[in-house]
Structure 1
Amino acid sequence: MSRRCECAFLLLFVISVLPISLRAEVVNLSWDNDLLTGTDRGYTNGVRFSYLTDTADENDGKSARFARTLRDELRFLPGIGTADSKQAVSLSLRQFMVTPEDITVEDPQFDDIPYAGHLSLSGTLWSWNADTITGFGAHIGVIGPESGAESVQKWVHKATGSDKPQGWGNQLGTDVVGGIQAAHGRKLLQAGQGGNIEQRVSVIGSGLLSSFRTSAKTGLVWQLGRHLPINFVPDYAGTSSTIALPGSFKDS
């Protein structure tokens, strides 16, 4: 990877660990990697840099006006623009890659998944209150060499002393991809308060319709402890969705 790319990666890391305040806006860096497991198989690395605007009910600021405009245009969608909800827009740049299990083989491995890199830009309008959160968005991106996945993996493996991946010459070819996504989370149970033991159960569902891949997911979140955070979807680190970011606002 070029020195320019190394500096950019370092800058993203610094942004993610420093307490940055952009009014009420949020900046987030998420990173998935299988370094701790010592394997490269399937989904092996993903990184997402995200920005969340001010809420639409803020009186000034360009990001608040942008969120307000999008909310008004998409008010017809379920869960958007209800009287007791707040809205904000997330913008994300994401890269992820998949590889076969044995990355030391240079020839194509027809009995395993191919090398593939994906780079995309996405935007999602989130609407939430104390008990629910709903989001609708769209994304566009590219798969193939232009995703930069080959350079990123080779640089990371060189820096960590891992095996050099040999098969990127067989990666999926260049293609422009895009699609839409939606997600919904709902608090089902809230018990306990104050300094006592609290517990909270929430359900989350999401769907993705894309020319690259289509999927649907659902799951449960159980939180137990004292002084639980306001956010009932605490997935700050996941690269596949920005559903946790609105919970970063103190008054969410």
Structure 2
Amino acid sequence: MTGPKLMKMARSAPYPGWMYAVVACLAGVAPDAMAGTFNISWDNDLLTASDKGYTNGGRLSYLTDAAEVDDDCSVCLAAHARDGLDWLPGIGAAGDQHALAFSLRQLMFTPENIESSEPQYDDIPYAGYLDGSLTLWSWNDDWITGYGLIVGVVGPDSGARRTQEWVHKLTGSTEPQGWDNQIGQDAVGGLEAYHARRFFRTPAGEGLQNEVSWGAGVTASNFITNAQTGLVWRLGENLPRDFVPLTSGASSTLALPGSTDAPGMGWSVFAGVGGQWVPYSYMDHHADPYTYDQNPFIWQAGVGAGWHWNGFQATLILRGTSSPDKTNKDELTFGTLAATWSW
């Protein structure tokens, strides 16, 4: 099916239009040019039997093959990015691999009572967010570093209202009534950087494997500016070489490099703790007359499990965070389902 036909369907079909936009873009790309790793992830608080705060999110991501696989090709965006940004720490070292991740992400935030059509000034406001990002990753067996660019929108043009209505219809949940009160419309832009490192990993072929990883990241944008760090422990058989994204925010692409490189079948369970400092958030500065007051320090924890087999990986993560709103002490919980596969 061609891209124009898909876009025509997006105007009339009940599914979120941004999904059709992504599929239309992919439909116009030759299969040989799309070799790499794909990921789709879905965040929802229904997975933890709650419905408030950060209520739903989705991300579609594509990671190119490593530039080092075919460094002499005429159209190697990852190689050009590596060579042009080798002045950045962690980029361009001999023996490391480099790849570009393209990602489209949509997030939505709602108050606890979604049956009311009136503004609820004592709770979090309705907010929708949509962005696209481009990240250059550099990694080896022990660490990974990435630098990214973010461009997007907050407000009605994010399409969050339509997506949530579709998801709630699909799951038989209560239809949200307050989207007419959402905040925004604004353009979003920013930069981000990540680094993660393994402390240790037991060798393969010795039964159960253990590993412990540490990670940190910084995001500077006009939607949110934060710094975060965390620690993750993983146990399993035939572990892949990826870096588990428990502490890197919603639907991160941090786990893509190395996620499908373990031959055969394997499984893993993992747990992590972390925290973040948030000196600025759009929700705090543009939510008047709502009483939302951004908590500058947020703690989080999560547990998860994964299964992989010959180029495919599926994961489930359950997360909990302290309240991002100082006026509301209730913690937030949500789950993430993700599937990753290599082309």
Q: Same fold (TM over 0.5)?
A: yes
1:34 corresponds to which of 17, 24, 45: 45
Q: Report the 3-state secondary structure (helix = DSSP H, G, I; strand = E; otherwise coil) of the residue aligned with 1:69.
A: helix
8 A contact 1:208–1:216 mirrored in 2: yes
1:43 corresponds to which of 54, 69, 83: 54
**Sequence identity, in percent?**
50
Deviations 1:210-245 (A, max 9, x none): 10111121111111233222224366x974421111
The alignment status of 1:218 with 2:233, answered yes or no, reads no
**Aligned counterpart, 2:125:** 114
Q: Decide which moves more: 20-29 or 133-142.
A: 20-29
* Structural mapping, 1:172-251, within 5 Å: 172-233=183-244, 239-248=250-259, 250=261
When residues 7 and 46 of structure 1 are mapped into structure 2, their CA distance, relative to the original with a 3 A threshold, is closer
8 A contact 1:122–1:140 mirrored in 2: yes
Deviations 1:110-144 (A, max 9, x none): 11110000011100000000100000011010010
The alignment status of 1:68 with 2:79, answered yes or no, reads yes
Gap runs ≥5 in structure 2:
1-9, 263-343
The alignment status of 1:131 with 2:142, answered yes or no, reads yes
When residues 2 and 68 of structure 1 are mapped into structure 2, their CA distance, relative to the original with a 3 A threshold, is same
**CA distance in 2 between partners of 1:152 and 1:161 (Å):** 14
Q: Decide which moves more: 78-87 or 35-44.
A: 35-44
Q: Decide which moves more: 147-156 or 127-136.
A: 147-156
**CA distance in 2 between partners of 1:238 and 1:181 (Å):** 12
When residues 240 and 210 of structure 1 are mapped into structure 2, their CA distance, relative to the original with a 3 A threshold, is farther
8 A contact 1:46–1:97 mirrored in 2: yes
Q: Decide which moves more: 123-132 or 206-215.
A: 206-215
Q: C-alpha displacement at 1:199, in angstroms?
A: 1.1
The alignment status of 1:141 with 2:139, answered yes or no, reads no
**CA distance in 1 between partners of 2:151 and 2:193 (Å):** 15
Number of residues of Structure 1 aligned to a counterpart in Structure 2: 244
**Aligned counterpart, 1:105:** 116
- Greater strand share, 1 or 2? 2
Q: C-alpha displacement at 1:7, in angstroms?
A: 8.2
Q: Decide which moves more: 42-51 or 31-40.
A: 31-40
8 A contact 1:206–1:217 mirrored in 2: yes
Q: Which amino acid aligns with 2:81?
A: L
Q: C-alpha displacement at 1:195, in angstroms?
A: 3.3
**Aligned counterpart, 1:169:** 180
Deviations 1:73-122 (A, max 9, x none): 11011001111201000011110100011111111111111000001110
8 A contact 1:195–1:226 mirrored in 2: no
When residues 195 and 246 of structure 1 are mapped into structure 2, their CA distance, relative to the original with a 3 A threshold, is same
Q: Decide which moves more: 187-196 or 126-135.
A: 187-196
Aligned-residue RMSD, C-alpha: 2.7
Q: Report the 3-state secondary structure (helix = DSSP H, G, I; strand = E; otherwise coil) of the residue aligned with 2:141.
A: coil
8 A contact 1:94–1:239 mirrored in 2: no
8 A contact 1:42–1:99 mirrored in 2: yes
**Aligned counterpart, 2:92:** 81
When residues 36 and 151 of structure 1 are mapped into structure 2, their CA distance, relative to the original with a 3 A threshold, is same
When residues 78 and 59 of structure 1 are mapped into structure 2, their CA distance, relative to the original with a 3 A threshold, is closer
Deviations 1:182-216 (A, max 9, x none): 11110101234413232111101111111011112
**CA distance in 2 between partners of 1:183 and 1:21 (Å):** 30
8 A contact 2:240–2:261 mirrored in 1: no
TM-score computed with the length of structure 2 as normaliser? 0.65
Q: C-alpha displacement at 1:157, in angstroms?
A: 1.2
Q: Decide which moves more: 204-213 or 221-230.
A: 221-230
Q: Which amino acid aligns with 1:211?
A: N
Q: C-alpha displacement at 1:27, in angstroms?
A: 1.3
Q: C-alpha displacement at 1:248, in angstroms?
A: 2.9
8 A contact 2:215–2:231 mirrored in 1: yes
Q: Report the 3-state secondary structure (helix = DSSP H, G, I; strand = E; otherwise coil) of the residue aligned with 1:169.
A: helix
